[in-house]
Amino acid sequence: MENVLTVKHVSKRFGRHTVLNDISFQVPKGSIVGLIGPNGVGKSTIMKIILGIYASDSGEVRFNDAHSAKGAKRVGELIESPAIYPFLTGREQLMLYSHKDSNDVRKIVEVMGMTDYVDKPVAHYSLGMKQKTGIAIALLQHPELVILDEPMNGLDPMSNRDLRNLILKLAENGTTFLVSSHILSELEKMIDQVVLLDHGNVVLADSMIHLHELGANYLSLMTSSNDQCAKLLAANRFCVAETSMSVRVSLTESPSLNDLFNILLTHHIQINDVQHLQTDLEDSVLTVLEHQGGNR
Amino acid sequence: MKELLSEEFYKLIHKRGTWYTPIVLFMAMLAVGFMARHSPDAQWYITAAFAGTEWVLIIMIVVCATTISMEYEYGTIKHLVIEDKGKVRIFLSKFSIIILYDAYLHLLAFGFTLPIKWLMYGGKYSFSANYEYGQSLMSNLINECLIDFLGSIVIIGAALLLSCAAKSAAVAIASGITVIFIGQGVSMMLLRNVGRSIPLLRWNPFNMLNMPNEWSNPAYYENTLLTIKQLMIGNIGYSILFILAAFLMFERKRI
């Protein structure tokens, strides 16, 4: 897949403090890439370097302009907090940033569900309304790449869902997203790729599919006799761990599911509940970060 | 650059203050007019635009202070830099709009002087009557507005410099008004005491602010110890210096 953005060996220092250390990653066209990591690891800094707000000390940021749509701007952004003037109304704000393209403004107001308050001064907006205005500004003029720093900040669950659906729809139509968020459960629902930063380094850059494949994948069984169940499965080469309420069976390191159920049924063990559990993004991130911490 | 100028103009006309300013200016000039109604220096008040140009300076300090610091306060500077990339163009567009607004306010001060003069004195002091420098009252008023406009650029430069240094518009406004007006007083005091023995002190930036006063009242030389020509040179020099320093600070200010 063609990359819209390539970040190559980028480093940045502020005084004696190294914020980014030889960062490299790619953002494929039409993908939604999640940029994650603990506070202060340089997520906003790399976004600012991509946007040209900061110059990097070394390395390069390259955009692929070969497929830029006519009339589209290259990048839309929401960095840290929405860039809005409190003395303007939401509509005036959008008119200012759209270079007075009222059609574009009307469409984005409808898409973002801002009709009820867009003509009120921004000074009277709630945090969520300001955030939506910031996202609307980022999406104006159909950018090829949209960079969103903590876009879910201050949004209610419905707005969160609407934003997620909008990002997914735009990505389907070819818009590329680089999104940072601490709400990993929300981020996980939309991103295709993840770039994990820690102490100024990329410690993980992978597709979500691959990440899920690598993560733990297991069944949680509640039976009439968990103790007997665990012993039987262990004797038949299943990877088993018994908890107080259930038996956990790893699916990646065990024989087939048919064998598992056959053994339990043959020994007249009643199955009360079965849950299929998978490692989520949060677990994966924490595992990688703990591993990194151990290596330092 | 054209787009940036258009954006700056758009922001300026959408600020409520922009629309109230002419009313405030007119009311302030009217108040001065009432106070000077029976003054023997009526012609001086007319040529000084009923202190309208002084009010314009205060307004300009507020405008300069907010124009740059608000971009940092609201985080909008990021968008400006991303859209345009060049801080030179951003600074130039802001400076151009400020100068245009300054000219507009001076024009208003001149325009408001005409009805206020008529309201206060009727036809008593003719604009064609002879006044300072062997020129008519009208010529003196026009020259006073032009000299004040030139003198305001040094204040704009200083206010922009403070705006780039301050973290918020409120701090920039407060420090701008304080520094400029207290500085003028301190300069006056120093020159009165040691101005003749230390000539270099006459060239301090605060002394340059007295140029319009010296133009409307040549006896003011006793306070400034510089001729009007020297004050003009000083004003131009300090304007360039402050504007360059403001730009350098703006360019280096971390976003």
Determine the straight-line distance between the first and last CA of chain B, rounded to whole angstroms: 21
Name which residue leads in pLDDT, B194 or B239. B239
**Better pLDDT: A85 or B128:** A85
Does A88 touch chain B if contact means CB atoms closer than 8 Å?
Answer: yes
pLDDT for the residue B17: 84
CA-to-CA dists, residue A43 to A2, A46, A127, B30, angstroms? 23, 5, 22, 57
Give the SS3 label for residue A35.
strand
Contact criterion met (CB below 8 Å) for B151 and B208: yes
B97 backbone φψ class: left, alpha, beta (φ>0; ψ -120 to 50): alpha
A53 and B255: CB-CB below 8 Å? yes
Do B78 and A88 lie within an 8 Å CB cutoff? Answer: no
B85/A84 Cβ within 8 A: no
> Structure tokens of A2?
């063609």
Q: Do A85 and B70 touch (CB under 8 A)?
A: yes
Query: Which residues in chain A show pLDDT less than 70?
Result: 1, 65-73, 211-216, 252-255, 279, 281, 285, 287-296
Q: What is the pLDDT of residue B99?
A: 93
* Element at A28 (helix H, strand E): strand A17-28
Tally of helices (H runs) and strands (E runs) in chain A? 10, 13
Q: Is A77 in CB contact (< 8 Å) with chain B?
A: yes
Element (DSSP H or E) covering residue B114: helix B87-121
Of B7, B75, B255, the CB nearest to A81: B75
Of A255, A74, A56, A43, which is closest to residue A151 (Cα–Cα)?
A: A43
Confidence of residue B27 (pLDDT cuts 50, 70, 90): very high
Domains of chain A: 3-212 (3.40.50.300), 216-278 (3.30.70)
List A294's β-bridge partners, or say none. Answer: none
Chain B contact for A216, CB < 8 A?
A: no
Mean pLDDT (whole number) for B20-27:
92
Cβ-Cβ contacts under 8 Å, B10 against chain A = 95-96
- Spell A209-225 as b/e; 16+ CB within 10 A means b: eebbeeeeebbbbbbee
> Poorest-confidence range of A204-208, B51-55, B190-194, B232-236?
A204-208
pLDDT at B212 over 90: no
Greater pLDDT, B36 or B29? B29
- B45-102 pLDDT, tens digit per residue, is 888 889 888 899 888 888 888 888 888 888 888 888 887 667 888 889 999 999 999 9
Q: How many residues does chain B have?
A: 255
**Residue in B7, B74, B85 closest to A86 by CB:** B74
User: Is A276 an 8 Å CB contact of chain B?
Assistant: no
Find the helix packing angle between B87-121 and B137-165, rounded to 10°: 140
Percent of chain B at pLDDT > 70 equals 99
> Can you give the pLDDT at residue A96?
87
**A51 interaction partners in chain B (CB closer than 8 Å):** 78, 82
CA distance B109 to chain A (A): 26
Other Cβ atoms closer than 10 A to A43: 22
What pLDDT shows up at residue A252?
Answer: 67
Please tell me the predicted confidence (pLDDT) of residue A69.
44
Mean pLDDT of B209-225: 82
- DSSP line for A275-296: EEEE--HHHHHHHHHHHHHHH-
Report the residue count for chain A. 296
The residue behind tokens 């009526």 is B42
Q: Do A96 and B7 touch (CB under 8 A)?
A: yes
A97 touches chain B (CB under 8 A): yes
HSE-CB at B202 with a 13 A cutoff on CA atoms is 17
Q: How many contacts does A have with B, using Cβ atoms within 8 A?
A: 49
Distance of residue B73 Cα from the nearest chain A Cα, in angstroms: 10
The count of C-alpha atoms lying within 13 angstroms of the C-alpha of A157, restricted to the half-sphere facing its C-beta, is: 1
Q: Do B255 and A77 touch (CB under 8 A)?
A: no
With CB atoms and an 8 Å threshold, state whether A92 touches B14. yes
What pLDDT is stored for residue B106 in this prediction?
Answer: 93
Compute the nearest-CA separation of B104 from chain A (Å).
Answer: 22
ipTM of predicted complex: 0.78
> Dihedral sign, CA of B142, B148, B152, B153?
positive
pLDDT at B184: 78
B233 vs A254, which has greater pLDDT?
B233
- Name the average pLDDT for chain B: 85
* 8 Å CB contact of A83 and B76: yes
**Buried-state track A78-111, b at ≥16 Cβ within 10 A, e below 16:** bbebbbbbebbbbbbbbbbbbeebeebbeebbee
Q: What is the pLDDT of residue A216?
A: 65
